[in-house]
Chains A and B, each alone.
Chain A
Amino acid sequence: MPIRKLPDAPPSVHILGPTVFLVALGVGMGESYMWPRLVLLFGPEIRWLFLIGVTLQAVVMLEMARYAMATGESIFSGAARVFKPLMWFFFIVAIAVYIWPGHLSAGAAAFEEITGIPWVVTAVAGLVLVGVVFTLAKVIYNLLENVLSLLIGALVLGTAVVAAMVGSWSDVVTTISGMFSFGYLPPEAMSAAWFPVIVGACAFAGPSGMQQMWYTLHLRDSGAGMGVHLPKVRGLRHAGEEEEMPSRGFMFDTSDPAEMAKWKGWRRWVTFDALLLFWGITMLVTISFTVIAQSAVRQNPAVRTAIQGDDREVALSAMADAVSSAGSSVLGVVFLGFIALIGLNATLGLFDSFSRGQADMSFHFVPGAKKLGMSKLYGIFLWGVILFGILILLFGPADGPSGILDTLAFLSTFAMGAYCVTLLLVNNRMLPKPIRPKWWTNVIIGFGAVFYLGMLFYSLFAYGVVVG
């Protein structure tokens, strides 16, 4: 790679950055529904698995950032440098898993509970709105960072205040002490009915599927590290103003002590993001939702039965009802409002990230795609997934054909194990020695691969079920 200067790291530990995307994508159904549900079923001790899952994701985030900040390339390009079919694997998995608009349904269904507007209408309107906004935006990253920041700020403040009003010290003590009951797995959890659900919840602790890989693209667009030397993705309307995207990333001079000092500054910056913003907010939201669920069950024991069932919408509205009877009807609406907000965050983030990732891979590795330019490719994937989504919402199964649901769930979790292996290969083989990961980081990422793939295959072979 050509050598360029590494820019200075932000002078103070500054709170705004591309982590907002990871938080927006990561704080989703895992935090607001799956884990509170497991706590109600198996007790707070089950949360040790959540602690491991989220902490693992924080380390994965730091390692994803290592390659992206050192080269300005996405992890997909890194994977292609190691072994091109690996990158095509992720290209295909992304299309197979993320093209279905099912992730819209929970948020839109919560919105239906509040307003009475049918969820398909909200979902289709949401899809079109996302497409129009991202097409008109001059620089998509800036727009999305602003919107998501406001939404997440409101979500975090609101969740904290609601938890402060409905929870109690004893709830939070059991929730937190449960996080340290390492090894706890009750007999009923080790069953064909529940073990796959636990595997799914572990995969959904923090960002799931390919979300961490997309984070490298947001880092680049935010100008972090060597990403500063690469142009930003623009909305279709402004695609003509796009600067030419180089065909490869850059590297800084790792033998220069001044450059290494700047590198350390960038690592501090991203570590702060990983620990406080990502780890902290994910923990806060899950603890708050778990506390809310616990107090809901105290008020109305019927909630436990509703939550045990497989129907997510029924469980969520039962939780909202119980929260209402605990405080007021307003509280139930606020609860559903948060679910809708989480759905909106995830939708905005997912559509952008998916299009960004596919455009990046196509631009660099599909012959002739460079002629179109990054912004046009982004627009094509964005509108492609939106139009397909609308057609499926109107005429087909939103989550995907029922026959392939298991395969999709398998692929999503498998991708997480696969990106751990990819990270190990890319960071240890493609980066210069002085900025390679430490041995203990490698051990943690290696453990991640074993954790995701091990649980996935254990579930498959021991119970014949993939992921719940």
Chain B
Amino acid sequence: MGGRHSLELALPGASIGAVAGAMAGGLTLLAGQPTGMAALAALALAVPLGLFGGLYGMLLGHGVFRPGTFGPVGLYWMAAFPVSRLAQEILAPTGGLAEGVPAFLAYQAMIALGFAIGFLWLHERFMPHWLVRRAGDNPLAQDLLGTYLRFARVVEKRKSARKGARR
């Protein structure tokens, strides 16, 4: 049961990762290459990015990450993004490894920081909506929603201060 609850939290992150990966995978549709190869390239990036995206959501639910903070997420993707790209290059090579594996990984780790900003940005948009839907049946979602609500309450306090001030 606990496993299912954790998995539910993984959905928004997994979707963002998978869509980003599929989009990029689509780019490797080399002219004249069979569709099967293109699908493999898309899948080879979408699956690891989706897995890591989902794992982030689960870790968030278990309190390893705090909602909305960038530092730890940046570090997380600096490890996860290069690994995902390496997996893709091994399964469906696009010539990225021409400069050697260390240079490839270093470059991907740098780009990962940008990826992390985009990922977190979208995750913060989707996750609260998903939690509101799942909180009824899922205690983990309810806890995490509580964290988001504490933030929302501060915003609410600011709003009521606004109304009070006008009275």
A161 touches B154 (CB 8 A): no
Rounded to whole angstroms, the CA-CA distance of A7 and B165 in the bound complex is 11
Rounded to whole angstroms, the CA-CA distance of A164 and B89 in the bound complex is 11
A166-174, A341-349, A384-392, A431-439 - interface stretch: A166-174
Rounded to whole angstroms, the CA-CA distance of A11 and B67 in the bound complex is 11
Contacts of A154 in B (CB 8 A): 118, 122
A165 touches B28 (CB 8 A): yes
Interface string of B95-110 (1 = CB under 8 A from A): 0101100011011101
A4 touches B165 (CB 8 A): yes
Known: A10-B154, A223-B162. Contact between A276 and B70, CB under 8 A? yes
B111 sits at the interface (CB 8 A) = yes
Instruction: Give chain A's interface residue range (CB within 8 Å of chain B).
Output: 35 or more
Residue among A11, A156, A162, A170 with the highest chain B CB neighbour number at 10 A: A156
Interface string of B80-102 (1 = CB under 8 A from A): 01000100000000101011000
A328 sits at the interface (CB 8 A) = yes
B145 sits at the interface (CB 8 A) = no
Is the contact region of chain B dominated by helix, strand, or loop, or is it mixed?
A: helix
Known: A223-B159, A330-B29. Contact between A156 and B104, CB under 8 A? no
B5-13, B18-26, B55-63, B131-139 - interface stretch: B18-26
Rounded to whole angstroms, the CA-CA distance of A149 and B161 in the bound complex is 27
Contacts of A276 in B (CB 8 A): 70, 117
B119 touches A157 (CB 8 A): yes
Rounded to whole angstroms, the CA-CA distance of A146 and B126 in the bound complex is 11
Contacts of A8 in B (CB 8 A): 154, 157-158
Contacts of A7 in B (CB 8 A): 157-158, 161
Contact with B27, one of A223, A243, A284, A330 (Cβ below 8 angstroms): A330
B99 touches A170 (CB 8 A): yes
B166 touches A223 (CB 8 A): no
Report the minimum CB–CB distance from B58 to chain A (whole Å): 20
A142 sits at the interface (CB 8 A) = no
Rounded to whole angstroms, the CA-CA distance of A194 and B84 in the bound complex is 42
Interface pairs A-B: 4 shortest CB-CB: A156-B118, A157-B118, A284-B114, A169-B103
Q: Which residues of B are in contact with A by a Cβ distance under 8 Å?
A: 16, 20-21, 23-24, 26-31, 66-70, 81, 85, 94, 96, 98-99, 103-104, 106-108, 110-115, 117-122, 124-125, 150-151, 154-155, 157-159, 161-162, 165-166
